[in-house]
Every structure is written in structure tokens, then in C-alpha cells.
């Protein structure tokens, strides 16, 4: 479906166009299947703290997964978008403690923990638009998670990096740039795929 070496912007546009055709029922069904698959991961079963995110729009739904992790006693940190597009973090305390923020995001209302809080987590669940067989993740293009991944590397932190996607978003090739950090696994409604560095 995709050319051997697509450009990031073009690939992102094509995949987001496919997402825009999904119904809310499609998104919720995929989210339930995604949660089931993700909860089987050792990276989550053995985690004490997980950095995650609240899905918006046509992203694979994450709310069921967030609630299931919290019910297991896992501490879940969610991003808070700063003015410079960097990410602060706050603890997820349930859907009733989420507030609408800029860009349509839902963010936790609790105390801010600082940008470095992510360096203490066991697993990071990353949003994305695509991933390829090398574990190269294509994000939305804002650079927020590139900063997070660079911060983890600079701190010597080595959490598991897992991207959550739809099945058709595992593609042949994502262009890799020097700042890109490969993920260790992708979870889709259809299953889990692992990558080795």
C-alpha cells in the first residue's frame, strides 16, 4: 500500500485520512480489543507506574485501558501539554478528574509532577500514527514525544516503549531521522508485535 520510502508528512496525511472515516463505534470496539491485548503484556502486568495518554478524536480509544490499569493498582501518569509543546505529567485519578485543555486534549486536574516525572516510569504507552518493522514510530508531528524520548535517553532511563495503533497502521517503512527512538512493541486490536534494536 505504501511506497518503499514515503515522506513522513504524506504518510501521516494518508493514515489520518483513513482514521477520519472511522465511526465512534469502530473506535470504541478497537479500543476494547486494544485494552484486552495490552493488558496481557508483561510490560504492563509487571509495571508499578505507566505513562500513558487519553485518546482524542479518531485515535485508538485508551480510556478502558487507563481504567483497567488504575483498577490493577498501577500508577498512571498522563501528559499535560505545556506552552512550548513539552509535556509535564500528572496522575490519572479517573475520568471525572480530566479537564478539557488546548488542542482538544483531556488532561488530569491533579498536581503537576514536572517534565522529568516520566523518567521514573516502567512503561511508556505512546500515541502514534504508524510504526514499521524496525520499530520506527511516526507521531502526529508536534515533537512532544520526541522530547520525552530524548529526556528518557539523557536520564539513562530505559522504560518499555509501546505504541498503540490500529492494525493497518503497522506499515512497511516509516522514514527514520536521527532524533527518532525505536519502540519495543506495538499493540493493535489484532495483537502485539515486538521489535528488537
Residues flagged as binding site for ATP: 8-12, 137-145
What residues are designated binding site?
8-12, 54, 59, 137-145
What residues are designated binding site for substrate?
54, 59
Secondary structure of the chain in HEC code, one letter for each residue: CCCCCCCHHHHHHHHHHHHHCCCHHHHHHHHHHHHHHHHCCHHHHCCCEEECCCCCCCCCCCHHHHHHHHHCCCEEEEEEECCCCCEEEEECCCHHHEEECHHHCEEECCCCCCHHHHHHCCEEEECCCEEECCCCEECCCCCHHHHHHHHHHHHCCCCEEEEECCHHHEECCCCCCCCCCCCCEEEECCEEEECCC
Amino acid at each position: 500500500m505504501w511506497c518503499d520510502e514515503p515522506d513522513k508528512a504524506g504518510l501521516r496525511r494518508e493514515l489520518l485520512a483513513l482514521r477520519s472515516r472511522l465511526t465512534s463505534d469502530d473506535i470504541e470496539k478497537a479500543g476494547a480489543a486494544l485494552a484486552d491485548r495490552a493488558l496481557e503484556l508483561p510490560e504492563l502486568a509487571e509495571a508499578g507506574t505507566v505513562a500513558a495518554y487519553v485518546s482524542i478524536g479518531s485515535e485508538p480509544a485508551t480510556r478502558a485501558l487507563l481504567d483497567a490499569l488504575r483498577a490493577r493498582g498501577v500508577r498512571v501518569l498522563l501528559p499535560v501539554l505545556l506552552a512550548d509543546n513539552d509535556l509535564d505529567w500528572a496522575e490519572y485519578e479517573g475520568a471525572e478528574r480530566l479537564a478539557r485543555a488546548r488542542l482538544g486534549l483531556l488532561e488530569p486536574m491533579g498536581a503537576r509532577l514536572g517534565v522529568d516525572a516520566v523518567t521514573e516510569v516502567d512503561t511508556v504507552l505512546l500515541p502514534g500514527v504508524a510504526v514499521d518493522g524496525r520499530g520506527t514510530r511516526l507521531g502526529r508531528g508536534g515533537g512532544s514525544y520526541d522530547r520525552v524520548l530524548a529526556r528518557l535517553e539523557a536520564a539513562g532511563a530505559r522504560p518499555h516503549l509501546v505504541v498503540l495503533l490500529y492494525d493497518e497502521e503497522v506499515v512497511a517503512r516509516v522514514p527514520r531521522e536521527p532524533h527518532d527512538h525505536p519502540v519495543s512493541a506495538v499493540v493493535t486490536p489484532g495483537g502485539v508485535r515486538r521489535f528488537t534494536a
